[in-house]
């Protein structure tokens, strides 16, 4: 019995703080302490400064990135790509109208890696989990951004040029932060203390502010609309993605922090950035918002279950 309680306690330690800060964001928004201006400014600050600083520090402090778990990262990238192809196939036959297929597919495979995924890994494994997840985040971010553009462009019949996609990836602040950190880690460069401490201030505020903005942004008013397609995307995001990646990782021999990182990152809810992309491309923004809202809440439950299962069998 004590062993079971330890597993339950560990799962709540990982997911509980996320739920508390998300809920606090909802409450502060309703009481007026968080405004639309705060959400817009805070989200922009986190994306352009906070997260890049967090990723830069996490990776640059990791000596020997050349010995990083690139087999785990490669597995995650391949599994995500194959799942994307499978989701496209399913959506072609079951999602109507056709212009909503891209929204459903993106909502199912594109996780909130940078905020909630990183927070899960940091809570579960501390600095080691943050460093491993940061490396994974860099490459998976490139992949999901490209696939997101492709699936939305196909569904909306708005083809995007290769140059536009490359430019979007190259100017992504998260990618820039990771690229700058890699040579620092590879060469073992010791950064000045003033740089480290200044960066740490930004890094420390990143996840709390990001989670507060995410919670404050949740909108449940339109959840009754698009119910069928919303539930399909939720099932893909919260069940299919983490289950397939976890089972595949176990069969490939991954255990411990590597298995945990794959499961936790896949279990994160749909990315809020997906809503921005859908809206900018003229897609069904209400459907995208529904998917993000429900997966954000549901992820707390499904991730806790996944942790308890993997921890219970001693694989995490």
**Cβ atoms 123, 17 nearer than 8 A:** yes
What span, in angstroms and rounded, lies between the C-alpha atoms of 266 and 242?
5
Q: 228 with 96: CB under 8 angstroms?
A: no
pLDDT at residue number 221: 67
Residue 23: how many CB atoms within 10 A of its CB? 15
Summarised one tens digit per residue, pLDDT across range 286-295 is 788 788 888 9
Q: What's the rounded mean pLDDT across residues 115-122?
A: 89
88 has a pLDDT exceeding 70 = yes
pLDDT confidence of residue 179:
83
Give rounded-to-5 percent helix, strand, coil for the chain. Answer: 80, 0, 15
Phi-psi region of 190 (alpha: psi -120 to 50; beta: other; left: phi over 0): beta
> Domains, the chain, ranges and CATH?
2-312 (1.20.1530.20)
Q: What is the pLDDT of residue 268?
A: 93
What is the percent of the chain where pLDDT is above 70?
92
Q: 203-223, pLDDT tens digit by residue? A: 888 888 888 888 887 766 666
Look at residue 62 in the predicted model and tell me its pLDDT: 67
| pLDDT of res. 55 | 82
Phi/psi for 270 (5° steps) reads -60, 145
> Which residues fall within 8 angstroms of residue 244, CB to CB, at 6 or more apart?
79, 83
Mean pLDDT of the 123-135 span: 87
Q: Inter-axis angle of helices 272-280 and 118-156, to 10 degrees?
A: 20
CB-based contacts of 81: which residues, under 8 Å, 6+ apart? 143, 147
d(CA 202, CA 45): 10
Predicted local distance difference test score (pLDDT) of residue 276: 66
Looking at residue 263, what is its pLDDT?
96
Q: Both tokens of residue 71?
A: 């087999």
Q: How confident is the model at residue 224 (pLDDT cuts 50, 70, 90)?
A: low
pLDDT reported for residue 67: 58
Do 72 and 258 contact (CB within 8 A), yes or no?
yes
Q: Is the pLDDT of residue 2 over 60?
A: no
- What confidence tens digit (pLDDT) does each residue in 254-268 have? 999 999 999 999 999
What three-state secondary structure class fits 111? strand
What is the three-class DSSP state of 77? helix
Report the pLDDT value the prediction gives residue 92, as an integer from 0 to 100.
94
Predicted confidence at residue 203, as pLDDT, reads 83
Cα within 13 Å of Cα(183), Cβ side:
3
Tens digits of residue pLDDT in 20-78: 888 898 899 999 999 989 988 888 888 888 888 888 888 787 655 555 688 999 999 99
Per-residue pLDDT tens digits for 99-110: 999 999 999 999
pTM for the model = 0.81
């Amino acid at each position: 019995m004590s062993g079971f309680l330890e597993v339950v306690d560990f799962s709540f330690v990982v997911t509980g703080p996320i739920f508390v800060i998300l809920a606090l964001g909802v409450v502060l928004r309703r009481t007026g302490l968080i405004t639309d201006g705060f959400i817009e400014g805070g989200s922009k600050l986190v994306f352009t400064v906070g997260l890049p600083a967090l990723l830069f520090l996490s990776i640059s402090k990791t000596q020997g990135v050349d010995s990083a778990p690139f087999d785990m990262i490669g597995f995650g990238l391949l599994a995500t790509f194959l799942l994307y192809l499978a989701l496209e196939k399913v959506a072609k036959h079951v999602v109507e109208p056709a212009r909503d297929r891209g929204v459903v597919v993106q909502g199912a495979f594109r996780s909130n890696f940078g905020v909630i995924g990183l927070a899960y890994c940091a809570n579960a494994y501390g600095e080691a989990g943050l460093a491993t997840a940061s490396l994974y985040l860099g490459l998976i971010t490139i992949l999901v951004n490209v696939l997101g553009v492709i699936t939305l462009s196909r569904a909306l019949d708005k083809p995007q040029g290769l140059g536009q996609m490359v430019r979007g990836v190259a100017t992504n602040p998260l990618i820039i932060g990771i690229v700058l950190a890699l040579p620092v880690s590879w060469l073992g460069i010791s950064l000045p203390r003033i740089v480290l401490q200044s960066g740490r201030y930004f890094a420390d505020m990143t996840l709390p502010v990001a989670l507060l903005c995410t919670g404050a942004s949740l909108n449940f008013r339109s959840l009754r609309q698009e119910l069928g397609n919303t539930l399909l995307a939720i099932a893909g995001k919260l069940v299919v993605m983490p289950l397939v990646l976890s089972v595949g990782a176990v069969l490939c021999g991954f255990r411990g922090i590597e298995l945990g990182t794959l499961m936790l990152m896949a279990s994160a809810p749909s990315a809020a950035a997906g809503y921005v992309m859908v809206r900018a491309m003229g897609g069904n923004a209400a459907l995208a918002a529904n998917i993000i809202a429900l997966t954000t809440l549901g992820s707390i439950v499904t991730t806790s279950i996944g942790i308890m299962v993997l921890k219970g069998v001693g694989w995490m």
